[in-house]
Amino acid sequence: MAERRNVRSRERNEERGEELDERVVDIARVAKVIKGGRRFAFRTTIVVGDNRGRVGLGVGKSRAVPDAIRKATEQARKNLKSVHLSGTTIPHEVIAEYGGARVMLKPASPGTGVIAGGGVRAVLEAAGVRDILTKSLGSANVLNVVNATLLALRQLKNPETEAAHRRKEPQEVSPFWTRTRSKKNG
């Protein structure tokens, strides 16, 4: 029954023409020690996004790389989550930790580009962020860095909702380059 539902939802996604950006972030060879020695497998980390504020992560493990990629892609498509964006950047600065990895994301003015490396860049581009400054602190483990980036993106708040919560105008909580200047007499 569940298999039939998965087939139907996949068919619906294909009918809608949902084009998702898939990026292979990491392929690692992992070993399991058994009686006769070591058994090797491949762990793949894949990020999937629609470039419009939805992004997901999938991790797949198999003895063959194509199978691991397929498993990770299916998992990433199931794990798609929406994130709040402010135009081509993020609404505010955020720092997130996952395991030993810390990731800092800062909004940037239009034209800056994605200043990020490795897994952080893959996640941000798949999410649809075009202008951002980042810094990866702590562990360089790709899987933890990607998870920290996703955690940071999920911490982002909608500027309009946050402004209402603070009883301020939305322009007061948005980045300075999006604010319109008010003309003062004198």
Would you say residue 127 lies in a domain?
yes
CATH number of the domain within which 51 lies: 3.30.160.20
Q: What's the CA dihedral at 175, 134, 125, 156 to 10 degrees?
A: -50
- With beta carbons less than 8 A apart as the criterion, state whether 96 and 84 touch: no
| 113 shares a domain with 53 | no
Q: With helix as H, strand as E and coil as C, how does 69-128 read?
A: HHHHHHHHHHCCEECCCECCECCCCEEEEECCEEEEEEECCCCCCEECCHHHHHHHHHHC
Residue 173's pLDDT band, with cuts at 50, 70 and 90, is confident
Indicate whether 7 belongs to any domain: no
Amino acid at 135: K
Same domain, 100 and 158: yes
Domain assignment of residue 10, yes or no: no
The answer to whether the CB of 22 falls within 8 A of the CB of 139 is no
pLDDT band at 163 (very low <50, low <70, confident <90, very high): confident
> Of 35, 51, 82, which one is at a domain's C-terminal end?
82
* Domain that residue 135 falls in: 94-168
Give the tens place of pLDDT for each residue, 15-51: 455 788 999 999 999 999 999 999 999 999 999 999 9
Q: Region 48-63: what's the mean pLDDT? A: 95
pLDDT (tens digit per residue) in 80-110: 999 998 888 898 899 999 999 999 999 998 9
- The tens digit of pLDDT for each residue in 107-157 reads 998 999 999 988 999 999 999 999 999 999 999 999 999 999 999 999 998
Distance CA 126, CA 112 (A): 17
